Amino acid sequence: MPNWIEVGIRSLSVIIGLFLIMKLLGKKQLGRLSFFEYILGITIGSIAASISLDIEQDLPAGITSILVWLLFPHVVSLISLKSKRFSDFAEGKSTVFIKDGKILEEHLKKEKYTADELLEQLRKKDVFQVADVEFAALEPSGDISVLLKKAKQPLTVGDIFSNPPTIKEPQAIIMDGTILDQPLAAHGFSEDWLKNELKKKGVKPEEVFLAQVDNFGELNLDLYDDKVQNQPPVLIQQLLASLRKNQLDFKRLALQAELQSVKEEYIKHAEQLKNMEESITPYFKNS
């Protein structure tokens, strides 16, 4: 048999073997690639290239070697699921860098982290002052988790409303001009309702590439003709108008308040509403 044919057969065998093994291991290995797994990948690639090109090497032995290298991290992962102690040993534990707003210098030295490196990682999390951080930890993956102090956290709907409505994931109800009845019914809407909404926008179903609806009944369209502008959702317009009105109300109350503490509280609420308006405005522009 010519060498080039044998090399082709060996290479194809290795590719098929690697593909089947990776399918067996699942997606978790790709999503959580540690430094050790990175080294394993390089080694396995070297072994695969060697047994593919060197026709003097035993093919079954080479595939067995690849199988062992691939299954080892998988076995370690399975044992880690059963034993917390082994998991801490194999994968490591989180190291607290900042607690109660204070940097733990000894923990930085333990992980061979400098102050500059800590500040760099914080900046990647859009945090520019250590004083704004309540808690920060170095995870086994190498990422830093950061919890801001309550006063520095972004304002959310839950901060203003004690019982905000539950939001379900948007459903695609039109794809490639075809109405999808099942997801439409899952949100409690009928085909007649959809056609009526499309009629209000001056659009026919066959002109829509993709349409999504949320549980509030807001319809977002992506048309085949990108020159046609989609109307922004009415709910967002109403929300922005309500936020602006409430800002003015708080400012008016601040002017009328006699106590300075009450006045400052009203001004604080007005600023919070302003920040919320600014945070959702980009969504309004892009909708």
The pLDDT tens digits along the chain (287 residues) read: 676 777 777 778 777 777 776 666 555 555 455 566 667 777 877 887 777 777 777 777 777 787 787 777 778 777 877 887 777 776 778 899 999 889 999 999 998 899 999 999 999 998 999 989 999 999 887 789 999 998 888 777 677 666 766 667 788 989 988 988 888 888 788 888 888 888 888 888 888 899 988 877 788 888 887 665 555 555 566 677 777 888 888 888 888 888 888 888 888 888 888 888 777 776 555 44
- Record: fold of 95-152: CRO Repressor (3.30.240)
pTM: 0.48
Residue at token pair 């060498």:
3
Kindly tell me the burial class for residue 142, based on how many C-beta atoms sit within 10 Å of its own C-beta (0-12, 13-18, 19 or more): exposed
Q: How far, in Å, CA of 181 to CA of 29, rounded?
A: 37
Q: How far, in Å, CA of 236 to CA of 242, rounded?
A: 10
- Token pair for residue 113? 């982290």
Q: Which helix (H) or strand (E) holds 47?
A: helix 35-53
Domain map of the chain by residue range? 3-88, 95-152, 171-231, 236-286
CATH class of 171-231: alpha beta
Say yes or no: do domains 95-152 and 171-231 share a fold.
yes
Q: How far, in Å, CA of 52 to CA of 13, rounded?
A: 9
